[in-house]
Structure 1
Amino acid sequence: MFEVSFDLLVLLIAAGFLAGFIDAVAGGGGLITVPTLLLAGADPVTALATNKVQGVFGAGTAAVSYARGGHVKLRRQLWPATIAFGAAMAGALLVTVLPTDAIRLFLPILLIGIAIFFATKKGLGDGDRQQRLSPALFAATAVPLCAAYDGVLGPGAGSFYMLSFVSLAGYGILKATAHTKLLNFASNLGGLTVFALVATPWWMTGLAMAAAQIAGAQCGAALAQKIGARLIKPLLVATSLILAAKLLWEMF
């Protein structure tokens, strides 16, 4: 029934829960699930495709949790989410022709920059700040760029969405986190749509991980809404630095 043995399935389910928790708070769940899938014997494309299967459920659960908490109105995000879906599909379609190795070279620098921004920027809390882009311009620029990356590679996309909402839309940390989740869901779904056609995801294993993702995302979103920026900021900094270190280790 499942594509892996029972002991590996237990490991992947545990990874799914932890990834769902971290993703709901700060993004970066792929940092846990993709390497675990590779460890379980998946080839890189299958690992990315299966990661989308379970990631869709975690991001969707977190989006609903934040909406129920009153931190985001999902209906107002339908148009940006549609853009994210299409951009992620385009990114996934281009994965065979784009120089993904070159993209990986810049990712550690970007992630370290994100960590430094959130660690050192004064005044970053749960209150909104000055808006630099209108909602329409934000949806037309920042959203498709983040979503296209999510379709091409994936890990770190949540951090890029967060940085965009805080630095360009002027959102506070908790509000930015809440607004990231539906877009992350849409770009995960867009990537999965393409991967389902051109790759072979581990569907049953991915769905088992998805159940754990849902539980982890509910826990993470609930805790983030209680604590806010005091939890989200340090976890975002930590996940960005760990992902950057992982990418550098793989390269060198």
Structure 2
Amino acid sequence: MDRSLDIALHLVAFLFLAAFLAGFVDSIAGGGGMITVPAMLLAGFPPLETLGTNKLQSLFGSGSASLAYGRAGHVDLKKQLPLALLSAGGAALGAIATTYLPADILRIGLPFLLIAVALYFALKPNVGDNDRERRLSVAAFSATVVPVIGFYDGMFGPGTGSFFMLAFISLAGFGVLKATAHTKLLNFGSNVGGFLVFVVFGVVHWKIGIAMGICQFLGAQLGSRFAMKSGARIIKPLLVITCLGLATRLLLDPTNPLRLWLGW
């Protein structure tokens, strides 16, 4: 029986609003899961089913943003399809690895990685919309960075968009808007890879996931248009805020292994 039939109407409205806001924020700076995952947990979904259903509705948001950026010419969807497939493959392996590998090390180190990403964008003055010199070849970038970040997304997830953004800007030499557009496509690929694994394990609530997905789609359409209009002027500060917000949330999580070890 679908769990969505048992959710109170006010919680359904809460989830729809969270999905719309997540789609808006994620299409600009990533981090949409920071909004939807806690919202679903508050609504009473078990953790694994929250992750599975979140992957379903995230497909709508990342897919919506990819289409918007593609139509505007900021990313060639067909040309970048192989990268999206590599991201999907990495995410599928990462999702499978969650059943074998402990995630505590990731949960301990991730907040500090996100803070480092935030500082990079906040303190680097020449991060703008113009492309710069590439530091890593296309082949090397495709074979290493893309599947590794995809693997991380499938295994854990928070901050994936921020890591893709950092990689495109610092290693591929992309401007902020172009990096955002390419990030959404690869994030769509990693969402597909992780989602397929969660489907196999039967932990996806289809009705609520699709309904939230529609809200994410609409939010992402609005957010991507806002980003294309404002460029680095809005993307850069929102990316910094998103990274710091996600790092703070992870550090304040009562189940964070670091807090448990230190007795906070």
Q: Same fold (TM over 0.5)?
A: yes
Does structure 2 conserve the Cα–Cα contact (< 8 Å) formed by 1:45 and 1:199? Answer: no
Question: Aligned runs of 1:16-165 on 2, under 5 Å?
Answer: 16-165=19-168
* Offset at residue 101 of structure 1 (A): 1.1
- Cα-to-partner distance string for 1:67-92 (whole Å, 9 max, x where unaligned): 11111101111111111111100000
Partner of 2:201: 198
Partner of 1:211: 214
TM-score, with normalisation over the residues of structure 1?
Answer: 0.98
Q: Equivalents in 2 of 1:213, 1:104: separation in Å? A: 26
What is the DSSP-based 3-state SS (H/G/I as helix, E as strand, rest coil) of the residue aligned with 2:172? coil
* Offset at residue 103 of structure 1 (A): 1.0
- Cα-to-partner distance string for 1:105-143 (whole Å, 9 max, x where unaligned): 110111000000000012110001120111111111110
TM-score, with normalisation over the residues of structure 2?
Answer: 0.94
What is the DSSP-based 3-state SS (H/G/I as helix, E as strand, rest coil) of the residue aligned with 1:217? helix
Q: Which residue identity is paired with 2:239?
A: L
Q: Equivalents in 2 of 1:155, 1:44: separation in Å? A: 14
Q: CA RMSD in A?
A: 0.9
* Offset at residue 5 of structure 1 (A): 2.0
Q: Equivalents in 1 of 2:59, 2:152: separation in Å? A: 16
Identity %: 53
- Cα-to-partner distance string for 1:14-47 (whole Å, 9 max, x where unaligned): 0000000000000000000000000000111111
Q: Which residue identity is paired with 1:160?
A: F
| Greater Rg by CA | 2
What is the DSSP-based 3-state SS (H/G/I as helix, E as strand, rest coil) of the residue aligned with 2:194? helix
Q: Equivalents in 2 of 1:76, 1:217: separation in Å? A: 22
Q: Which residue identity is paired with 2:209?
A: G
Work out which of the residue numbers 244, 247, 252 in structure 2 matches 1:249.
252
Between Structure 1 and Structure 2, how many residues are aligned? Answer: 252
* Offset at residue 153 of structure 1 (A): 1.3
What is the DSSP-based 3-state SS (H/G/I as helix, E as strand, rest coil) of the residue aligned with 1:75? coil
Q: Equivalents in 1 of 2:35, 2:182: separation in Å? A: 22
Q: Equivalents in 2 of 1:136, 1:22: separation in Å? A: 30
* Offset at residue 96 of structure 1 (A): 1.4
Partner of 1:11: 14
Extract unaligned runs of 5+ from structure 1. none
